[in-house]
Amino acid sequence: MKNKYIFGGFIIVLFLGIMAYLFTQSNIKYESNFTNIKSSDKTVKATGSWVKEKNYDMNREQNTFSFFMMDENGNEMKVVYEGTIPNNFETATSVVVTGSFKNGYFHAKDILTKCPSKYEQKSVQSSSL
């Protein structure tokens, strides 16, 4: 009978430990100031735009994709992602990368792109007769 209580208590403690771990992992904040990202070692979601003038690089041997992002204040940072270029990257209006800043660049675990909506109202020029 005593072993059942010990086993039950162990299961409850294990469950609470797993829940605490999952809660801390989902507590990732969005950051749009790259100065704050560069001074932090935590995992963040960095939001910004792709610096098209600097293009991007695909390294097929190492299976990495790298590019430069700019924040709303004009600060740039290099992003390296282990994987292939995301769909619609070249037409993206903004980029969200999840990862951390180490060794002089942002190590991205995930990349999300926001593309222009086909439902946005386009400017219509009226012609005068």
We report the CATH number of the domain holding residue 81 as 2.40.50.140
**Mean of the pLDDT values across residues 86-93?**
87
pLDDT (tens digit, 9 = 90+) per residue, 57-87? Answer: 999 899 999 999 999 999 999 999 999 888 8
More confident residue, 22 or 77: 77
Residue 96 inside a domain? The answer is: yes
Q: How confident is the model at residue 118, as a pLDDT?
A: 60
Highest mean pLDDT among 6-10, 100-104, 125-129: 100-104
The answer, as to whether pTM is greater than 0.75, is no
Residue 37 inside a domain? The answer is: yes
Mean pLDDT for all residues in the chain: 84
DSSP bridge pairs for 44: 29, 99
Lowest mean pLDDT among 15-19, 29-33, 117-121: 117-121
Residue 48 inside a domain? The answer is: yes
Burial class (CB in 10 A: 0-12, 13-18, 19+), 33: middle
DSSP 65: E
For residues 113 and 85, the answer to whether their CB atoms sit within 8 Å is no
Distance CA 126, CA 129 (A): 10
Residue 100 inside a domain? The answer is: yes
- Number of domains the chain contains: 1
For residue 34, what are the domain limits?
29-114
